Amino acid sequence: MSHTSEVKNININKTHENALKRAAEKVGGQFLGWGEHKLYSSKETGFGIKLKNWRYPIVINGTTIKMDNYNGSWGKQSELDGFNTRLRTEIAAEAYRKQGHVVTERVISDTKIELFVNVGE
């Protein structure tokens, strides 16, 4: 049996570190870890992710993403959207795997990924 799940809001915390690493890697970014990260006009504390082609990292803490992309000149919104989709997918897949389910996926676009969960009988 398979079903599709969509998560709207995620409260990111330190238990999501592996999902953040996988999401960053899968979109060609770099996971910078937890700490203080320099943006253009501020320093922010949280998980830092350096997205491909972004001048400054994004910083995630709780449900907040801090970033400086200078209206797209320092980083494209579409790359952030793709990362957010990938992160939601990784968090959901991790939760299903912890329950002992087999998870596969099909990438439709940067912002749409289908998860297939094989729920044992």
pLDDT of residue 3: 39
In a domain, 82, yes or no: yes
28's tokens: 């060609």
Sheet holding 43-50, edge to edge: 30-38, 43-50, 58-61, 64-66
Using one digit for the tens of pLDDT, what is the confidence trace for 37-73?
999 989 999 999 999 999 999 999 988 899 998 888 9
Q: Is residue 56 part of a domain?
A: yes
In a domain, 97, yes or no: yes
Q: Which residues contact 101 (CB under 8 A, 6 or more apart)?
A: 117, 118, 119, 120
Residue 52 lies in a domain: yes
Query: Helix, strand, coil % (nearest 5) of the chain?
Result: 30, 35, 35
**Domain-embedded: residue 113:** yes
CA dihedral (74, 79, 81, 84) in degrees, to 10, reads -110
In a domain, 101, yes or no: yes
Tell whether 4 is covered by a domain.
Answer: no
Compare 5 and 15 and report the one with higher pLDDT: 15
Domain that holds residue 46: 14-118
In this predicted structure, the answer to whether residue 10 has a pLDDT above a threshold of 70 is no
Decide if 78 is inside a domain: yes
pLDDT for the residue numbered 28: 96
Here the tokens at position 33 are 């870890």
Average pLDDT, integer, range 21-29 = 96
Q: For residue 106, is pLDDT > 50?
A: yes
Q: Note the pLDDT of residue 43.
A: 94
pLDDT for the residue numbered 119: 84
Phi-psi group of 55: left, alpha or beta (phi > 0 → left; psi -120 to 50 → alpha; rest → beta): alpha
Please state the domain count of the chain. 1
Cross-strand pairs, 117: 103
pLDDT on residue 1? 40
For residue 5, the model assigns a pLDDT of 35
